[in-house]
Amino acid sequence: MIAKKSIKNLILAVLFALPLFATAGGSSEKGKEKEFNVVEMIMHHIADSHEWHIYGEGDESVSIPLPVILYTDNGLVTFMSSEFHHDDSGHHIVTKNGMNFVRNHGKIYQLDAGQKEVNFDHETHAITNGKKPLDFSITKNVTSMFISIILILLIFTSIARSYKKSLVPTGFAGLMEPLILFVRDDIAKSLIDEKKYMKYVPYLLTLFFFIWVNNLLGLVPTGANLTGNIATTMVLAVLTLLIVNFSGNAHYWKHIFWMPGVPAPIKLVLAPIEFAGIFIKPFALMIRLFANITAGHIIILSLISLIFIFKLAGTPSILLAIFIMILEFVVAFVQAYIFTFLTALFIGMAVEDAHH
């Protein structure tokens, strides 16, 4: 009973601490009150960045600097993001290898040769006298991805060591076994041919735990919004697209381009639609995961913002924010399940043998 209460109190403490981290964009700068911009604060927290922001704003902010890696016409340039001095307005210039760089709204620009001043387009707020070098920086999202990979490796290597000692799972292995069996039996085995499903279990397990772990990490205060980044979900969708179509047998491709049992004129109409479906299905996977995770973050931050807009009158919104936060823990699992389930379904359709 005591242990349960301690865990409950810990969870509540973390949830109530969320506003302290999530509202860094509304802090004052050099003792002066600054107008609270809800859109700016929300976009700042769901977007990727070149440093891991903890709290504060401007020169008073506390952040973990990350490596900036740029490929320019004159070769590779590397430096730490702290050299921008927490300035995202495009005014602070970093000089490296005789080249000048500025950062504006999360994008790094290389100024034209000889230029030491920043020219802005006041309508688009873009830098007009610079160009974007290829950016291979270790950003917040990339760092979060490395953390999740390390966590997953630690989890599964510990489970593997446990099974080497005994086939009867104990401790942490016993806790994780139902999830592993769930993916293997209830997803892979139920949707893919029994003779072929084991070939795809490693990918489905990796997919499920990668999405789930990163969904959970995104709910940690100051955590990265990796699975709410469309570039991440696009890569996952492309992997599914490649695996499904490279696994497709003759029966699968025949049903796409020349469906059996359908009149020829109808086949000519359906074939382009079925071909488009090859790309539409993974595209739907990409958008579904991206939209659901991003929407959850935006709702939570919007509810917390009501406190700073309406002051004490907005305090009850924290209760609704906590409810949504708890709901997001369920969504984190559900979205990992849906992505993995639909991937297994598409694979099962691609490798299914013809029935006569």
List pLDDT tens digits, range 72-87. Answer: 888 899 988 888 875 5
H-helix or E-strand spanning residue 290: helix 264-310
- pLDDT of residue 55 exceeding 70: yes
* pLDDT value, residue 26: 42
User: Residue 293's closest CA among 339, 340, 243?
Assistant: 339
Q: Which of 9-23, 108-122, 178-192, 193-207 has the lowest mean pLDDT?
A: 9-23
- pLDDT band with cut points at 50, 70 and 90 for residue 237: very high
* pLDDT value, residue 89: 54
Q: Region 56-83: what's the mean pLDDT?
A: 83
Q: Region 183-202: what's the mean pLDDT?
A: 92
* pLDDT value, residue 124: 59
Q: Which of 1-5, 50-54, 104-108, 238-242 has the lowest mean pLDDT?
A: 1-5
Structure tokens at 165: 């000692």
294 or 306, higher pLDDT: 294
* pLDDT value, residue 230: 94
- pLDDT of residue 31 exceeding 80: no
- pLDDT of residue 53 exceeding 60: yes
Task: Return mean pLDDT, the chain.
Answer: 82
Between the alpha carbon of residue 220 and those of residues 16, 60, 187, 345, the distances in Å are 12, 22, 28, 31
Alpha helices in 59-200, H assignment, sequence order: 140-165, 171-181, 190-191
* pLDDT value, residue 29: 41
User: Residue 92's closest CA among 117, 70, 124?
Assistant: 117
184 or 122, higher pLDDT: 184
Using an 8 Å Cβ cutoff, are 103 and 45 in contact? Answer: no
* pLDDT value, residue 175: 85
Please enumerate in sequence order all residues whose Cβ is within 8 A of that of 297, keeping only pairs 6 or more positions apart, or say none.
42, 45, 46, 218, 225, 228
Portion of the chain with pLDDT greater than 70, in percent: 81
* pLDDT value, residue 312: 65
Between the alpha carbon of residue 182 and those of residues 113, 205, 209, 319, the distances in Å are 59, 10, 12, 33
Report how far residue 65's alpha carbon sits from residue 47's, in angstroms, rounded to the nearest whole number.
Answer: 16
Portion of the chain with pLDDT greater than 90, in percent: 36
Rounded to two decimals, what is the model's pTM?
Answer: 0.83
* pLDDT value, residue 228: 92
- pLDDT of residue 19 exceeding 80: no
- pLDDT band with cut points at 50, 70 and 90 for residue 303: confident
- pLDDT of residue 157 exceeding 70: yes
232 or 26, higher pLDDT: 232
